[in-house]
Amino acid sequence: REAQVEQLRERGIDVAAVMASGQLEVRTWDESYLIGGSFDPRRQFAYLRERVTEGRGLGFPATRLIGSLDWVVERPEVMPDVLAYETRVDKWLRDRPDVVVCTYDLRRHGARAVADVLGLHSSAIVGGVPRTRLAVEREPARDRLLTAASRLFRDVGVQRTGVDALIAEARVAKATFYRHFPSKDDLVVAWLRDFRTRWLDEVRDNVADNAAAPGEAIPLFFEAIADWLEAGNFRGCPYLNTSAELADPSHPARAVVTDYLREVEDYLTELAAKAGSRDPRVLGAALQTLTAGAIALGVARQSRQPAMVARDAARGLLAQALGV
């Protein structure tokens, strides 16, 4: 820790001042990546989320986490776990203002180790020169179209986004677009089914990582909703947004929305059952109604507070369902 702090001082940073303001926090490997002497990808991901949430709570719009990972090279057996962690972080950071940077002193390691390190990351800067994995540079056209849809449908809306805008954003030919998606409606359906859109997966992972007991899962669900809303700049739920945009009940996307909302209710019913609810289906439906209201009000007010109010209401409903 002292070596890192001294480097910051040498670069003209008033370390004491920025630490006192909460802008800087320095931790050792034993306090972050290697708690208890081992690397646990689930624990580390939860740690990452906690730091980002903590930064939001202090009023900072974004958090930058810089981790020295030379220990990875010294423990090649952890490479698969680190790769799984990096993949999950890449997915989680998509569309977020937060940044995670992993640093290595490549002068300390041989060519084989350097190659392994570069293989862990989708992009890297070596000697000041950006390097990107070939697989990333050659992202398939279908994936580029889904990425373009994710941004444009979220920022502009499904109805207001035309095929030409999608083609330009994805940098593909018109023929390529129609080879993958016969119509824009087909792309809307694929986008709703794509992992980039499935906010429930992210929230569910958060709950699984942090709920120490079944009764904690439901309040944690609403806290995760608050974090997700805030991280996405309060744009809301793509499924509810799309449903509101598509007036035609026969639009193929409406079936996807219906299925997904049923999945959310089933998940909340499952949490209610594990918590010991006497009628988990009724409680699950009530919790889903709270969820939709929390998201809608969170977007309207640009605030996480409605989700926190919903959390407290959910605690009351759970206590009532348990007969407490």
pLDDT of 196 reads 66
For 219-238, how does the pLDDT look when each residue is reduced to its tens digit (9 = 90+)?
999 998 998 888 777 888 99
Q: What is the pLDDT of residue 210?
A: 84
Helix axes 238-245, 280-301, angle to 10 degrees: 80
Rg (CA), the chain: 22
What span, in angstroms and rounded, lies between the C-alpha atoms of 174 and 259? 31
The whole-number pLDDT of residue 156 equals 92
Q: Reduce the secondary structure of the chain to three states and give it as a string.
A: CHHHHHHHHHCCCCHHHHHHCCCCCCCCHHHCCCHHHCCCHHHHHHHHHHHHHHHHHCCCCCCEEEEECHHHHHCHHHHHHHHHHHHHHHHHHCCCCCEEEEECCHHHCCHHHHHHHHHHCCEEEECCEEEECHHHHCCCHHHHHHHHHHHHHHHCCCCCCCHHHHHHHHCCCHHHHHHHCCCHHHHHHHHHHCCCCCHHHHHHHHHHHHCCCHHHHHHHHHHHHHHHHHHCCCCCCHHHHHHHHCCCCCCHHHHHHHHHHHHHHHHHHHHHHHHCCCCHHHHHHHHHHHHHHHHHHHHHHCCCHHHHHHHHHHHHHHHHHHCC
- Whole-prediction pTM value? 0.65
Q: What span, in angstroms and rounded, lies between the C-alpha atoms of 120 and 244?
A: 40
Cα–Cα distance measured from residue 236 to residue 238, given in angstroms and rounded to the nearest whole number: 6
**Residue ranges, the chain, pLDDT below 50:** 134-137
Q: Which two tokens stand for residue 145?
A: 């179209």
Q: What is the pLDDT of residue 29?
A: 81
Find, among 251, 246, 238, 236, the residue nearest to 307 by Cα.
Answer: 236
CATH tag for 199-322 (out of 3.40.50.150, 3.30.70.360, 1.10.357.10, 3.50.50.60): 1.10.357.10
The residue count of the chain comes to: 324
Domain boundaries, the chain: 32-137, 141-184, 199-322
Which CATH code of 3.30.9.10, 3.30.420.40, 2.70.170.10, 1.10.10.60 fits the domain covering 141-184?
1.10.10.60
The pLDDT of residue 107 is: 76
Q: With beta carbons less than 8 A apart as the criterion, state whether 121 and 102 touch.
A: yes
- The pLDDT of residue 282 is 96
Strand partners, 124: 131
Q: What is the pLDDT of residue 119?
A: 64
pLDDT at 315: 95
Whether 66 and 103 have beta carbons less than 8 Å apart is answered as yes
pLDDT for the residue numbered 319: 94
